[in-house]
């Protein structure tokens, strides 16, 4: 009898020993019986051989049967394995550094032959250019049919290869709440009330989305020369023909307001519009590798890192909002390209790793892309974030309250100052940081641009002041919000859009670009959760 402390294997050994002992006694008796009847056994005919073989199996020693059974049991147990549970944690952060900061790693583009580059789509081998009026085969229905499937976007074969490269990028934990949760219907209504939105501002956003939907091309893209789509039903296209070829930038600009309003390719009134736009943009990038890292370049003909930054923000937001695994691959590859394009001074400029260093305007879009990637739990290397902070140190003045273009500025540059302050907020400066307080005073005293002539500045300044909150934001918001609502086109083909002026570098991009920025300004109340709220659900970069 096995003791109470014995295990299953000990009990099996005891039983096995008892079986062997019993089998030995039985075998001794059997041998004696066999010797007494040997003569009778020899008289059997050959026809009884098969019966003998059957009797042999029945007469097999008990110890042999027991042995075979135990061996069989052990073999079965040997085939059963219990794997340790695997815990996967997507990670991202950066550790604290000294004031001098780390040295920025220098990257170099591989000289890849065309056949070494992975093509995203056989149908699109060159970026799309629109130079002639677009023939719309049928009117575009912006009301999504109920039967449209809320399924992930189908991706090409390189999706698996371009999955988030956590092994290649050093990252730490990013345990945030639901990304972009401020855009769901209930939270959106709450934030709209708390931060100064109105029914009129929301109605303006809705009309703008309809305008964008009417100007989507049959292939899902948009163009800054929007008049080619509506056949001049509304004017003021991009004045620069070269910019008109920046299809990826135009598509990203048109889609960002949809995502800002909570519309995705899996949910919402404009689901079909967003779905087709994402399909086009994902397929229209240029995949490749930089130092073995999979990347996608979204710069268009005559385009620059502005184009790519906008596309990267869009893909990361779409992934953060839906969790669609088909978007994870191109979003991560777009982030990878941002990282590898960083200049040695920690900034970004028009071309990857530009020798004369970065400029604050381009840096703003790339930092926002990294932030969006972070919110979607994609891999973002800490060194890239730290590098952007070094660049901001380089171009700041007045103790960090103002920012220049490529270096400190003697006089106020309101646009780059707003960009720099927002980047500082994203990279960890607190609300009571002296430079943040002083910088907010600068923007508040300047106010919104006169007659909406600088929506680029208004867009960044609105985000800074909204994050800071208080009376300064209330005054700034009331003035800018009411102005934009009053200036939105109310009839004709232009209904729902904005066009202030063609003067100035930014405004040359025309009606589509100005409409995108005006719409995103009116979404500022809920595009992102407040960074400085008591229970913010979106984390800053934990540096």
CATH number at residue 254: 1.50.10.20
Beta bridge partners of 510: none
Q: How far is CA 135 from CA 219, 408, 423, in A?
A: 11, 49, 42
Torsion of CA 412, 418, 420, 422, to 10 degrees: 160
CB 333 within 8 Å of CB 295: yes
**3-state SS string over 177-210?**
CCCCHHHCHHHHHHHHHHCCCCHHHHHHHHHHHH
DSSP-derived secondary structure for 297-322 = E---TT--HHHHHHHHHHHHHHHHHH
Residues 6+ apart with CB under 8 A from 129: 245, 247, 301
Has residue 6 been placed in a domain? no
Least confident of 164-168, 182-186, 370-374, 399-403: 164-168
pLDDT digits (tens, 9 = 90+) for 407-420: 999 999 999 999 99
d(CA 224, CA 516): 11
Domain of residue 379, residue span: 120-159+181-522
d(CA 254, CA 235): 17
Has residue 169 been placed in a domain? no
Q: What is the pLDDT of residue 241?
A: 65
pLDDT digits (tens, 9 = 90+) for 197-236: 999 999 999 999 999 999 999 999 999 999 999 999 998 9
Share of the chain above pLDDT 90, in %: 58
Mean pLDDT of the chain: 77
Has residue 283 been placed in a domain? yes
Q: Domain count of the chain?
A: 1
First to last CA, the chain: 65
Question: Phi and psi of 176, rounded to 5°?
Answer: -90, 170
pLDDT digits (tens, 9 = 90+) for 312-346: 999 999 999 999 999 999 999 999 999 999 999 99
d(CA 174, CA 315): 19
Range 475-481 average pLDDT: 98
Q: What is the pLDDT of residue 43?
A: 45
Q: What is the pLDDT of residue 491?
A: 95
Torsion of CA 296, 301, 304, 306, to 10 degrees: -80
d(CA 331, CA 369): 10
Of the pLDDT bands very low, low, confident and very high (cuts 50, 70, 90), residue 170 is very low
Residue 396's H or E segment, with its range, is strand 396-397
- CA diameter of the chain: 125
Has residue 48 been placed in a domain? no
Share of the chain above pLDDT 70, in %: 65
Q: How far is CA 503 from its chain centroid?
A: 35
Range 354-377 average pLDDT: 96
CB 108 within 8 Å of CB 187: no
Question: Phi and psi of 16, rounded to 5°?
Answer: -65, -40
Query: Count of H helices and E strands in the chain?
Result: 19, 4
CB 297 within 8 Å of CB 340: no
What is the Rg, in whole angstroms, of the alpha carbon atoms belonging to the chain? 34
Q: Answer yes or no: is pLDDT of 58 > 80.
A: no
Range 113-134 average pLDDT: 41
Q: What is the pLDDT of residue 12?
A: 41
Q: Which range has the top average pLDDT, 162-171, 467-476, 495-504, 526-535? A: 467-476
Residues 6+ apart with CB under 8 A from 124: 283, 284
Has residue 164 been placed in a domain? no
HSE of 61 in the Cβ direction (CA atoms, 13 Å)? 16
Least confident of 44-58, 185-199, 300-314, 424-438: 44-58
Q: How far is CA 382 from CA 13, 99, 246, 339, 375, in A?
A: 58, 15, 31, 10, 14
Of the pLDDT bands very low, low, confident and very high (cuts 50, 70, 90), residue 129 is low
Q: Answer yes or no: is pLDDT of 493 > 50.
A: yes
pTM, two decimals, is: 0.70
Least confident of 25-34, 245-254, 439-448: 25-34
Has residue 35 been placed in a domain? no
Has residue 84 been placed in a domain? no
Has residue 155 been placed in a domain? yes
CB 496 within 8 Å of CB 489: yes
pLDDT digits (tens, 9 = 90+) for 243-288: 778 999 999 999 999 999 999 999 999 999 999 999 999 999 999 9
Q: Which of 9, 494, 476 is CA-nearest to residue 210?
A: 494
Q: What is the pLDDT of residue 180?
A: 62
């Amino acid at each position: 009898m096995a003791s109470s402390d014995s295990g299953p294997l000990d009990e099996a050994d005891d039983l096995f020993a008892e079986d062997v002992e019993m089998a030995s006694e039985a075998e001794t008796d059997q041998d004696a019986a066999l010797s007494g009847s040997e003569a009778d056994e020899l008289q059997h005919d050959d026809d009884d051989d098969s019966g003998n073989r059957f009797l042999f199996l029945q007469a097999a020693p008990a110890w042999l049967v027991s042995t075979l059974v135990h061996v069989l049991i052990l073999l079965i147990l040997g085939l059963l394995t219990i794997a340790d549970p695997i815990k996967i944690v997507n990670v991202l952060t950066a550790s604290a550094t000294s004031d001098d900061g780390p040295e920025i790693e220098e990257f170099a583009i591989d000289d890849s032959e065309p056949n070494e580059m992975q093509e995203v789509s056989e149908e699109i081998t060159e970026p799309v250019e629109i130079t002639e009026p677009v023939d719309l085969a049928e009117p575009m229905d912006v009301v999504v049919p109920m039967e449209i499937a809320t399924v992930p976007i189908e991706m090409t074969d390189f999706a698996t290869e371009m999955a988030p490269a956590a092994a290649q990028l050093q990252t730490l934990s990013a345990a945030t709440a639901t990304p972009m949760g401020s855009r769901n219907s209930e939270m959106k209504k709450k934030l709209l009330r708390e931060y100064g939105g109105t029914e009129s501002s929301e109605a303006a956003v809705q009309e703008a989305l309809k305008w964008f939907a009417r100007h989507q091309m049959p292939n899902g893209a948009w163009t800054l020369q929007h008049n080619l789509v509506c056949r001049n039903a509304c004017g003021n296209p991009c004045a620069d023909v070269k910019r008109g070829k920046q299809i990826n930038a135009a598509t990203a600009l048109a889609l960002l307001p949809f995502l800002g309003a909570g519309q995705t390719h899996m949910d919402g009134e404009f689901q079909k519009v967003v779905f087709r736009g994402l399909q086009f943009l994902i397929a229209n990038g240029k995949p490749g590798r930089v130092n073995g890292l999979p990347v996608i370049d979204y710069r268009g003909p005559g385009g620059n890192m502005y184009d790519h930054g906008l596309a990267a923000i869009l893909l990361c937001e779409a992934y953060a909002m839906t969790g669609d695994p088909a978007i994870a691959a191109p979003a991560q590859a777009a982030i990878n390209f941002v990282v590898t394009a960083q200049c040695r001074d920690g900034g970004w400029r028009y071309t990857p790793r530009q020798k004369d260093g970065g400029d604050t305007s381009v840096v703003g879009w790339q930092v926002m892309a990294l932030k969006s990637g972070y919110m979607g739990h994609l891999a973002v290397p800490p060194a890239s974030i730290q590098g952007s902070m070094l660049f901001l140190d380089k171009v700041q003045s007045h103790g960090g309250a103002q920012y220049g273009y490529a270096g400190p500025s003697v006089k106020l540059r309101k646009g780059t100052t707003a960009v720099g302050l927002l980047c500082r907020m994203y990279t960890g400066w607190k609300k009571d940081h002296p430079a943040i307080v002083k910088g907010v005073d600068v923007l508040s005293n300047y106010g919104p641009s006169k007659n909406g002539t600088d929506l680029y500045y208004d867009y960044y300044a609105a985000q800074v002041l909204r994050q800071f909150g208080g009376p300064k934001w209330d005054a700034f918001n009331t003035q800018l919000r009411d102005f934009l609502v009053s200036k939105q086109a109310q009839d004709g083909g232009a209904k729902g859009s904005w066009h202030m002026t063609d003067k100035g570098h930014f405004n040359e991009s025309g009606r589509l670009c100005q409409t995108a920025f005006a719409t995103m300004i009116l979404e500022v109340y809920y595009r992102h959760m407040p960074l400085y709220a008591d229970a913010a659900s979106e984390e800053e970069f934990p540096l």
